[in-house]
Amino acid sequence: MATSTEDKAHVQHASPVRYLICWGLLAVLTGVTFALSNVEMGSWALTIAMLIAVAKATVVSLFFMHLWDHRGANRLVFVVSILFVLVLMALTIVDSNTRFPLSLPPH
């Protein structure tokens, strides 16, 4: 009975090689983001640093936290929580950027 769930409960026994590759990727990306912080890139600096952070976060969540092997509901919860943070971030910044300047804290 319930063979599909029984089978899937133990699929996530990944090999140590996979973990080692993940660690290597994280170490390299950390080195890259550190090196790039010494390069003057103007407004691109934030975008590039965040792209690298998202890449690292993807490695951690997919392989160390086993989202790669987990079932749909777990992925949905994780993605939705990030989506809500992004909605909060976007709407709040849009709000403060479109206010009458004098209503903002002085520079």
Partner 1 sequence: MATSGKDAAAASPHPSPLAHHFQSLAKQTHALRLGMWLFLATEILLFGALFVGYGVYRNLFHEGFAAASHHLDKILGTVDTYVLITSSFTMAMASHWARERKYQLATVALIVTILFGLGFLVIHSYEYYRDVMEGALPGRYFDVPEITATGASMFYTLYYLMTGLHSIHVIIGVSVLGVLAVKTYRGHYNEEYDVPLEMGGMYWHLVDLIWIFLFPLLYLI
Residues that bind partner 1 (CB under 8 A): 1-2, 5-6, 8-10, 13-14, 16, 19-20, 22-23, 26-27, 30, 33-34, 37, 45-46, 49-50, 52-53, 56-57, 60-61, 63-66, 70-71, 73-74, 77-78, 80-82, 84-85, 88-89, 92-93, 96-97, 104-107
Instruction: Report, in Å, the least distance between residue 82 CB and partner 1.
Output: 6
Short-list 33, 55, 59, CA closest to 46: 33
CB of 43 to partner 1, least distance (A): 10
Residue found under tokens 């660690």: 23
User: Of the two residues 26 and 100, which places its CB atom closer to partner 1 in the complex?
Assistant: 26
Contact, 22 vs 55, CB < 8 A? no
- Please report the sign of the dihedral spanned by the C-alpha atoms of residue 7, residue 8, residue 9, residue 13: positive
Minimum CB separation from partner 1 for residue 78, in Å? 6
Min CB(74)–partner 1 separation in Å = 5
**In 3D, which of 24, 22, 48, 47 has the Cα closest to residue 35?**
48
Label residue 104 exposed, middle or buried (CB < 10 Å: 0-12, 13-18, 19+): exposed
Q: Considering beta carbons, is residue 16 or 100 the nearer one to partner 1? A: 16
